Amino acid sequence: MAVTPSSDLLAQLRWRYATKQFDPARPVAPATWAALEEALVLTPSSYGLQPYRFVVVTDAALKARLRPVSWNQAQITDCSHLVVFTILKGMGLPHVDRFTDRIAAVRQVPRDSLAGYRSFMVRDLVDGPRAAIIDEWATRQAYIALGNFMTAAAQLGVDTCPLEGIEPGRYDEILGLTTHATVVACAAGHRAAGDKYAALPKVRFAASELIDHR
């Protein structure tokens, strides 16, 4: 299996930034976008439960409706694809069972052989104390997906901008969400030539201040 050289990885991470101006005339190529959607699917999550759904918005009229409830940020309408990260509200036993069935089908094992794993998930997330904060737990899983998506996009030369400056409840209304709830969005596309932020040096604390070796 080919391995990305560390220098290439770091070069792409230094290249990326929270893009403020997208070029509406440069959509992401279909094959590239298909790979990014697969990256979303391949995102790791606690227990593998994937308590989320990704709404990909490309319709110009729909993006125009979302812009006023996104602090009127131009990235919403100018980007190629807008990904809305949503969580399954009140995730409980039905989803655990659905996931258990999926494991059995994909790995071709008897469902009974997964009883111990299922019980472990139920004790923790359905019957345990985390059940009281299950939406918060699911939100953390969605943010893992957001980070994975932005890193994958940078590797493929696609610009992104994570967007917390949105009204999640209004997103839910506009997108017709009922079982899921919006937590964050991310615009993706290609930077406009005039985006001044592209050339600014990254501002990060020194590694010695952020990484503690023990």
Task: Quote the pLDDT of residue 93.
Answer: 98
CA dihedral 95, 97, 100, 101 (to 10 degrees): -110
Looking at the DSSP bridge assignments, the partners of residue 188 are 81, 160
Residues with Cβ within 8 Å of residue 187, at least 6 apart in sequence: 19, 22, 75, 76, 78, 79, 81, 82, 83, 160, 161, 163
**Mean pLDDT, rounded, of the chain:** 98
Q: What percent of the chain has pLDDT over 90?
A: 98
Write the CA distances from 122 to 77, 96, 206, integer angstroms. Answer: 41, 7, 42
pLDDT, mean of residues 117-138: 98
Q: What percent of the chain has pLDDT over 70?
A: 100
Examine residue 34 and state whether it is found in any structural domain, yes or no.
Answer: yes
Digit-coded pLDDT (tens) for 21-79: 999 999 999 999 999 999 999 999 999 999 999 999 999 999 999 999 999 999 999 99
Residue 165 is which amino acid?
G
pLDDT, mean of residues 164-180: 98
Measure the CA–CA gap between 20 and 192, rounded to whole angstroms: 9
Digit-coded pLDDT (tens) for 156-165: 999 999 999 9
CATH of the domain at 108: 3.40.109.10
Task: Quote the pLDDT of residue 170.
Answer: 98
Examine residue 133 and state whether it is found in any structural domain, yes or no.
Answer: yes
Digit-coded pLDDT (tens) for 131-162: 999 999 999 999 999 999 999 999 999 999 99
Radius of gyration of the chain measured on its C-alpha atoms:
19
Examine residue 55 and state whether it is found in any structural domain, yes or no.
Answer: yes
Residues with Cβ within 8 Å of residue 86, at least 6 apart in sequence: 52, 53, 54, 55, 142, 177, 180, 181, 182, 183
Measure the CA–CA gap between 149 and 177, rounded to whole angstroms: 22
pLDDT above 90: residue 1: no
pLDDT above 90: residue 209: yes
pLDDT above 90: residue 2: no
Task: Quote the pLDDT of residue 166.
Answer: 98
Task: Quote the pLDDT of residue 50.
Answer: 98
Measure the CA–CA gap between 135 and 174, rounded to whole angstroms: 21
Examine residue 1 and state whether it is found in any structural domain, yes or no.
Answer: no
If one counts the domains in the chain, the total is 1
pLDDT above 90: residue 210: yes
Domain ranges, residue 63: 6-210
pLDDT above 90: residue 83: yes
Task: Quote the pLDDT of residue 38.
Answer: 98
